[in-house]
Structure 1
Amino acid sequence: MTDTLNNIVIVGQGAMGLLWYHHLSQQRLNNHRQKVTLLASNQALLDKAALNSAKYQLTPYRQEQTKSYSLKYSQKADINSANIIILCLKSFHIASAVERIAKDISPHCLIILAHNGMGTFAGVRKLLPNKQVILAMLTTHGCFRTAPLAITHTGLGQSDIGLLAGELSNEQQNRLTNRLNLALPHVSFHQDIKTKQWLKLAINCVINPITALNDIDNGEVNNKKFTKQIKLLLVEIIEVSKKEHIDLELSELQAVVHKVANATARNCSSMRSDTRAGKATEVDYINGYIHSLGQQNNIATPENSRLWQQVLNLNHSLNRE
């Protein structure tokens, strides 16, 4: 890892990718030059004029005025010199995105995986050198895309980061955390990011499929008619998590799910948004991940398995209409 963290590549032109790109690129660093670029899936289709004149739009949190900003797309040289690469993608695009750029990534670059669900790390690690630093980032910021290259920041949140592979000294951890925290606070580094991942996974296993299958806002998950189903989902998750040496408590998970559903009561979950738009969901990496681990460990997960299949079937039926 280099002393400076000023060359950053954001992969993904979705809501979260553009949000991080905006805040990192707008940040002013004393006595340091920085370069923040965005690697988009469709930029190969753009001609030179379109690449050089690209702009994106942002409506800041609790503001009505939308502003336009210049967008710098990543080139091969930017990936070669990147100190940090943040992958803000759907879970099912993570491995293929890393595979496309793996040969251009410096062994000293920090790779940050920012996505919903779990199950991508093993595939990513195989594509990179053994000593490559790979981190997970979980965020609770609310943001949605209103049009291509146009986003609205709908809720202030926090981000948690932690090591999945490689080594960072305490000084390096602090430097990385401060770099991100100055751009889009509040960012915290965790020595045990895996427990944080499981906590978020449990929340997603409840709120995402229930809202998608019932076409409801997040807050309606707290309706008493879902209480029994939520308990069944969480009990299965706790049993599977024990095999991963994760200790979760049912009462704590129930309280957290209730709190998140209440705090995001008027929000439309990402899975519900995807099914409404006829897009693929991340359910394979959410309830499907619990199903897969259950099978591997001979643990029955009937409720998670059922919702996993129902969401897949919902997608198929909507795509046929």
Structure 2
Amino acid sequence: MATNAPWLIVGAGALGQLFAASLAQRQRVVLLGRRPTRHVIRLRKPDGTDHQIPARRESLEQWSGPESPALVILATKSHHGKTALDALASRLPPQTPLLLLQNGFLLQPRLTEQWSGPVLCASTTEAAYRPATASGMDLDPDSPTPDVIHAAAGETWIGDLADRHVTLATRVAECLADAGMKAAACQDIRHRLWRKLAINAVINPLTAIHRVRNGELASRAFRPRVAALIAEIAHIMQAEDVPPPAQGWDVFIGDVIQATANNRSSMLQDVLANRPTERDAILGPLEEAARHHGLHLPAIADLYRQTPP
């Protein structure tokens, strides 16, 4: 990975803007979105302070960098990832490394097989969202509305599914750490992605269906359904050879619900904004694994049917 070449971040949603704003202070970055806009990201940090961070921003369709990027960070929603990469692929050297930030476990194995260069996957607990009033067409740098709100600092783990690119994962993690983000390379990224999927499969669909914040899932009304989902997810994880967390799946997922009680899940945000959800990326792998292992999991099947697409 060239040390002086820019990094491309594809996708100007909350996570894409957060990574771009953080990295831009230490690394040459270009943020590619649906349309060109002002070359600044207005970031509100967890402590409530607002910062305007200069960052080069261009549209995905018009970008034609004079030099090859050192890394492409794909920060789109899962269902947009392949389309965005296809639109960009002809302008990239075939061995360009990718870093995937998507939820779920659908795009990661597919691109790992299909992309000719190294493919890294990230599991992150960084929490960020875009305010409902933020607009990419707002060109006023003095606007008080932030583009992205960093709700809570988390940790990012980076690795590849075949465990072939440890050195690259370590270098990328070091660059993120230099930019002030807590990050580390790992050799069990598949397990971490499955564990995050387990959390998202409980929290995202239920909060989207009922339009509630995460903490409501700890209430008595939701306990039977949450317990049924966790039990079925545990069966899938066992079949996929994913070891349970030390405290068990119930406590593991329950702790996340409590820790993020005031958060609106990403799927709920999509529903409220009339955007497509990541139902297939989050619940699809569970249903596919159930079919593969011959498991009958009615709670997950019902959840898939009720979740907005």
User: Normalising by the residue count of structure 2, what TM-score does the alignment of the two structures yield?
Assistant: 0.87
Contact 1:136 1:163 in 2 (8 A): yes
The amino acid across from 2:106 in the alignment is: G
Q: Distance in 2 between matches of 1:89 and 1:264?
A: 22
221, 242, 264: which one aligns with 1:225: 221
Contact 1:112 1:137 in 2 (8 A): yes
Q: Distance in 2 between matches of 1:163 and 1:64?
A: 35
Residue 98 to residue 126, structure 1, CA distance change in 2 (3 Å): farther
Contact 1:98 1:127 in 2 (8 A): no
Unaligned runs of 5+ in 1: 28-33, 44-50, 316-321
Unaligned runs of 5+ in 2: 137-146
Q: Kindly, what percent of the aligned residue pairs are identical?
A: 28
274, 277, 291: which one aligns with 2:270: 274
Contact 1:98 1:124 in 2 (8 A): no
Shift of 1:12: 0.3
SS in 2 for 1:152: strand
Give per-residue Cα distances to partners, 1:193-220, cap 9 Å, x unaligned.
Answer: 1111111111011111121122211111
1:9 maps to which residue?
Answer: 8
The amino acid across from 1:25 in the alignment is: A
1:164 maps to which residue?
Answer: 161
Q: Distance in 2 between matches of 1:99 and 1:145?
A: 26
76, 81, 97: which one aligns with 1:110: 97
The amino acid across from 1:226 in the alignment is: F
Task: Indicate the structure with greater helix content.
Answer: 1
62, 70, 81: which one aligns with 1:94: 81
The amino acid across from 2:47 in the alignment is: R
Give per-residue Cα distances to partners, 1:105-124, cap 9 Å, x unaligned.
Answer: 33443211101111112432
2:234 maps to which residue?
Answer: 238
Shift of 1:249: 5.9
Shift of 1:159: 0.8
Give per-residue Cα distances to partners, 1:199-256, cap 9 Å, x unaligned.
Answer: 1111011111121122211111111332222222122222223343323369621112
25, 29, 35: which one aligns with 2:28: 35
Contact 2:112 2:161 in 1 (8 A): no
Residue 5 to residue 289, structure 1, CA distance change in 2 (3 Å): farther
Q: Distance in 2 between matches of 1:217 and 1:279?
A: 18
Give per-residue Cα distances to partners, 1:72-127, cap 9 Å, x unaligned.
Answer: 3272226x611111111111011111222223333443211101111112432354
The amino acid across from 1:88 in the alignment is: A
- Name whichever of 288-297 and 242-251 sits farther off: 242-251
1:318 maps to which residue?
Answer: none
User: Normalising by the residue count of structure 1, what TM-score does the alignment of the two structures yield?
Assistant: 0.84
What pairs with 1:128-207 in structure 2 (closer than 5 Å)?
A: 128-129=115-116, 132-146=117-131, 147-149=134-136, 150-165=147-162, 167-170=164-167, 172-207=168-203
Contact 1:118 1:289 in 2 (8 A): yes
Residue 281 to residue 250, structure 1, CA distance change in 2 (3 Å): farther
Shift of 1:268: 0.7
Q: Distance in 2 between matches of 1:85 and 1:231?
A: 39
Shift of 1:70: 4.5
Q: Deviation above 4 Å: which 4+ runs of structure 1? A: none
107, 116, 119: which one aligns with 2:106: 119
**RMSD of Structure 2 on Structure 1 (CA):** 2.3
1:319 maps to which residue?
Answer: none
Shift of 1:167: 2.7
The amino acid across from 1:77 in the alignment is: G
1:76 maps to which residue?
Answer: 64
33, 41, 60: which one aligns with 1:56: 41
